[in-house]
Structures are given as structure tokens and as C-alpha cells.
Amino acid sequence: MKKYIITAVFAVFSILSASAQSKKNAQVSVLYQNYITIKSALASDDAEKASKAASQFIKTSSGVNSKIVSEKELNALKENAKIIAASKNISVQRKSFYQLSDHMIALTREFKVSQNPVYVQYCPMAEGSWLSDESKIINPYYGKSMLSCGNVKSVIK
């Protein structure tokens, strides 16, 4: 009987722990999806769309629990996104996207943001990395002028 109770308690604890981890991942997953929208807008040279996507990213990041992602990290994400949101100049947006990408890559390594692989891609010409939900290179730093410049550095599963 004692063994059964211990097993049952352990099972309940495991379920609660998995549920809590799933909620943490879900909050960061929404940030990741907002990030992908920014990346896609920059890759298609659409400053207006990048600005709107960055505004949505800021709203989403404001809803992330600081016990899940540190306040310092959230502030860094917001600051980079604010620059993208406030600017209509694609060059300025892309410059801020470097740091936003670095922070998002770190978060993606820490949290499971997708059921599918997440690709860390790199452009040697821009000397910058970004995340993608596909292995095909679609470069946000140069857009249409060098859309396929880069390679997959690593895969986060």
C-alpha cells in the first residue's frame, strides 16, 4: 500500500511538472512565432510588415512571466523589438534584428518552442545568425538582393 501511494504521488508530481514545463514552452513558442513573422518581413524587404510584427512581439513579450524568462532577457528582447517597431527604415530594422536574433537563439536553446526542428542559420556576408522553421535559407539581412546567402549552422530539436 505504501509503495502504491509513493508511486501515485510521484506520478502526479511528474504530470504537474510536465504541465508546468509545457506552459513555459508555450509562452516562449508564441514569442518564437512572432519572431518568425519579423524575420519573414525583413526577408521580403517589407519594413511596414516588420514594424507591425515587432509591435506584436512586444505585446507578446509583455505577457511572458518573468519567472519563466528573466526580466533582464525580456527587457533586451523588448528593446530590440521596439527599434524595429518604431522604424520604417529596413536597414535600421535589420541592424536591431541581429541582437534580437541572438537573444531568441539563446531562448530557443533553453525552451522547446516547436514540435518541429528549429534551424539556426548564418550569413557570412552579414556576419549574423537567425532562426528559421525551415532548412531553406531565406536571408532576413539582405532580403531579395541576397535571399539565399547563408547556411544552416545547427538544428535545435
pLDDT at 107 over 70: yes
Give the pLDDT score at 25.
72
- Please give the DSSP secondary-structure letter assigned to residue 143: G
Distance (Å, whole) CA 108 – CA 111: 5
The residue-averaged pLDDT of 8-18 equals 40
Q: For the chain, what is the mean pLDDT?
A: 88
pLDDT at 136 over 90: yes
pLDDT at 9 over 70: no
Least confident of 6-10, 14-18, 46-50, 121-125: 14-18
The answer to the question of residue 73 being in a domain is yes
The answer to the question of residue 147 being in a domain is no
pLDDT at 64 over 80: yes
CA 80 to chain centre: 13
Please give the backbone phi and psi of residue 36, each rounded to the nearest 5 degrees, phi first: -60, -35
Quick one: 3 exposed, middle or buried, by C-beta within 10 A (0-12, 13-18, 19+)?
A: exposed
Domain extent for 59: 2-113
Give the pLDDT score at 12.
41
pTM, two decimals, is 0.84
Q: Give whole-number Cα distances, 75 to 52, 58, 64, 92, 107, in Å.
A: 19, 10, 11, 19, 13
The answer to the question of residue 136 being in a domain is no
Residues 6+ apart with CB under 8 A from 71: none
pLDDT at 22 over 60: no
Number of structural domains in the chain: 1
